[in-house]
Amino acid sequence: MEYVPIRISTLRGETIFEFNIYIQVREKYLLYIRQGDDIDTSRLKRLKKKRVRQLFIETKDEEKYQNFLDVGLDMVINDSSIAADEKADMVGGYASTAVDEMAENPESVVAFKMTEKAASGIVDVLAADGDVLAEIMKKSSESQEGDVGTKHGVNVASLCVALGTAMGLTKQAIRDLGVAGLLHDIGLNELPDDKKHLLTTPYEKFTKEDWKAYKAHPKSGAEVLNGKDYINPQILLLIKVHEERKSGDGFPEKLTKMEPIEEVIALASWYDRLVTCLGWTHKDAFENLKIDQLGNFDMKILDKFKKVLKEKGINNL
């Protein structure tokens, strides 16, 4: 039998599973939850606490799992009785799965549709519950599950959606920001193995060759997705300009003029790189935002961003 990993954060208690779920012990896959059974919420919570990184399903059940995810996402968004941290778990888990799928198979329409659904999920859940943004940020630093790049994508998307909403951008613009946020660093997957560490390396430590390789990622990301009729040009543009700065200090084009929506993704991805990729505290990143980034972004947008972080209590996490 062939197995594929699934995220524990995407599982729900008291729900009948229509597929077998396995746990890996050394080289073996042991049946953990039988098809037709459920898991009680307390057992699931214990499992999450144990830091078991992954469970598995049989490859043939992938579509069933996909359906299960879709149903779960709709459910958490529309159920006001579900706590913010559980919502963050579900939406974050769904979005992470989408980012991973896209990284593995950027050509896949199914993976892209999942990314769109994840972005809409983030938009809806943040609109319905003001506490979810902070929970998503918290989970990302606490959880051992998933890789840094994926967490960064989910966080950037969430920050983009929150800031775009605070700025009163259109619904379409906010959704585009969500999708672009999830995929903004997809170009980093094109880096050779000996440069993969650059995502988690401070710029001060970059060599000339590092910079050369790293500066290519916004364009190579857009190129990977280019020519797909299901991806709109705005999303591609946002990916291309996410490292630009209004001051002209960004890359690859050293733009000096940026649209507000473009500054949103640049600001969100810069901020979360410090926190998620370099391990800064939110407190320190927030301080840096006030001091070092003044010329780099539009003052009004910077102020709005600070306000969002403060209102949601993220600056003190």
Q: Which positions lie near Fe ion, rule CB under 5 A?
A: 185, 269
Closer CB to Fe ion, 135 or 244, in the complex = 244
* Shortest spacing between CB 310 and Fe ion, in angstroms: 23
- Report yes or no: 183 and 192 within 8 Å, Cβ to Cβ: no
Closer CB to Fe ion, 158 or 269, in the complex = 269
* Shortest spacing between CB 314 and Fe ion, in angstroms: 17
Closer CB to Fe ion, 15 or 200, in the complex = 200
Neighbours of 273 (CB within 10 A): 21
Burial of 64 (0-12, 13-18, 19+ CB in 10 A): middle
Closer CB to Fe ion, 52 or 302, in the complex = 302
* Shortest spacing between CB 252 and Fe ion, in angstroms: 11
Beta-ladder partners of 22:
31, 56
81-88: long-range pairs with CB below 8 Å, 24+: 84/129, 84/131, 84/132, 84/134, 84/135, 85/135, 85/138, 85/139, 87/125, 87/129, 87/132, 87/135, 88/132, 88/135, 88/136, 88/138, 88/139
Closer CB to Fe ion, 22 or 271, in the complex = 271
The residue ranges of DSSP E strands in the chain, in sequence order, are: 3-7, 21-25, 28-33, 54-58
* Shortest spacing between CB 163 and Fe ion, in angstroms: 15
Closer CB to Fe ion, 266 or 308, in the complex = 266
* Shortest spacing between CB 311 and Fe ion, in angstroms: 23
- Report yes or no: 4 and 62 within 8 Å, Cβ to Cβ: yes
Residue facing Fe ion at closest CB distance: 269
* Shortest spacing between CB 278 and Fe ion, in angstroms: 11
